[in-house]
Amino acid sequence: MTSPTYDVIVIGAGPGGSNAATAALQHGLSVAQVDRHRFPRLKPCGGGVTMKSFRSFGRDLKPVLRGEFNHIGLNVWQQRDSAFSHPTRPLLRMVERAQFDAWLVSRNLGTSGFQFYDDERVLEIAYDGRFRIRTAKGTLRGWHLVGADGAYSLVNRVFSIGRPKGRAVALEVTLRRDSATLPEEIPPCFDLGVIPQGYGWVFPKDDHWNVGLYSLGKTQNLRHQLLAYIAGKGFQCSSEPLATLAAHQFPYGGYRVSIPDAPVYLVGDAGGFGDALTGEGIYHALESGRLAANAIHDSLGGSGNHRDYYRRLRQTVLLDTFLSYHASQFFYRNLGRAVSALQSPSIRAPMIEAFAAGASFAEAIKQSGWLGSTAARLPRVLAAVRKLR
């Protein structure tokens, strides 16, 4: 593999990497995108796309949309059922991640200045004023580097940028509708307390359900717990329910970053920019990818540099990551109190409205008054936010 020197090299072809590539191409930049897997590839993920993700993405999802819901269950397992709904707007859309990721890449294929290299594992990254990316098949060169290479990011290891607070565990199965049934159809739901410091989820899609567990804590017997959850939700399976089992780690709480000397832009899971409270990562990947491409455009145009990206990130994605991490520490230790607070009409209605409108986590809790309901802790939180900035 030989190539010219690109404006941008993107390592990783998940939502963050592809959104960065798309935004850079829209700015007229040349882009090489590299992924270690051959596309399309399997990607464990529930595939829930929030409205803030859609706002960051900014394009029509109809070609890959697998469901849309304005009603979500938020339950305390075997204790309390509750629902959150909006009368006119969706709260959650569904995609299938392998299809979604392949579609994002396909939108850029054929665009002038874009090259996609799948099945290319990156072996070495060097920088001497421009980047040299060596794979088993050749070498790529570029002026700016976007690290969107996931939870075990080589880019992050080389440049030591992100420091996640921890790694959650998530595992899921795909139950196809032709081999599994439910007594009655259910909306997307989160069942808090199914697993310590976490929840179980069911995400309905047109031809299957994604069913899984998410936990911030150390867990054991996960296969047994997932089987028990599947049975507890009422699924009747004519084939082995764990046949499609997939597990992965989810880095969260990566709100502290070290700005590199080289023009490197860490995005999404590569920096641990996930939401510890909900386990959401797609929004943080999409938004950080978009911000990275905009900062690269400004830098190449002489009106900024790569440090601007990290300053913008602190005001948006990292602020959300910070707040969700600290909220998760309270939430999962006090499920009853936390859910009761969310069910309070003065908090519930504005929070639903905010999420339906695509508000970030920081915007939503400000509009809902959720932080105000924990006034005793507010000075400490605000002091920490000031340090973050």
Average pLDDT over residues 360-382: 59
User: Is pLDDT at 383 greater than 70 in this prediction?
Assistant: no
- Domains present along the chain, CATH in parentheses: 5-67+93-165+253-319 (3.50.50.60), 167-251 (3.30.70), 334-388 (no CATH)
d(CA 255, CA 321): 6
Report the DSSP beta bridge partners of residue 215.
169, 198
d(CA 3, CA 13): 19
Q: Is 363 helix (H, G, I), strand (E, B) or coil?
A: helix
Residue pLDDT, tens place only, 74-95: 898 988 888 889 999 999 999 9
User: Is pLDDT at 148 greater than 70 in this prediction?
Assistant: yes
Provide the pLDDT confidence category of residue 2 given band limits of 50, 70 and 90: low
User: Is pLDDT at 345 greater than 90 in this prediction?
Assistant: no
Least confident stretch, 55-59, 66-70, 110-114: 55-59
So what's the pLDDT on residue 225?
Answer: 95
So what's the pLDDT on residue 369?
Answer: 59
Provide the pLDDT confidence category of residue 348 given band limits of 50, 70 and 90: confident
Report long-range pairs for 78-87 (Cβ below 8 Å, ≥24 apart).
78/193, 78/232, 79/193, 79/336, 80/336, 80/339, 82/339, 82/343, 83/187, 84/348, 84/352, 85/352, 86/352, 86/353, 86/356
Least confident stretch, 254-258, 274-278, 349-353, 366-370: 366-370
Q: Are strands 138-147 and 5-11 parallel, antiparallel or unpaired?
A: parallel
Residue pLDDT, tens place only, 166-212: 999 999 999 999 999 999 999 999 999 999 999 999 999 999 999 99
Provide the pLDDT confidence category of residue 389 given band limits of 50, 70 and 90: very low
Q: Is 129 helix (H, G, I), strand (E, B) or coil?
A: coil
Residue pLDDT, tens place only, 111-144: 999 999 999 999 999 999 999 999 988 999 999 9
User: Is pLDDT at 374 greater than 50 in this prediction?
Assistant: no
Q: How many CB atoms lie within 10 A of CB 109?
A: 10
d(CA 12, CA 25): 16
Least confident stretch, 128-137, 310-319, 338-347, 365-374: 365-374
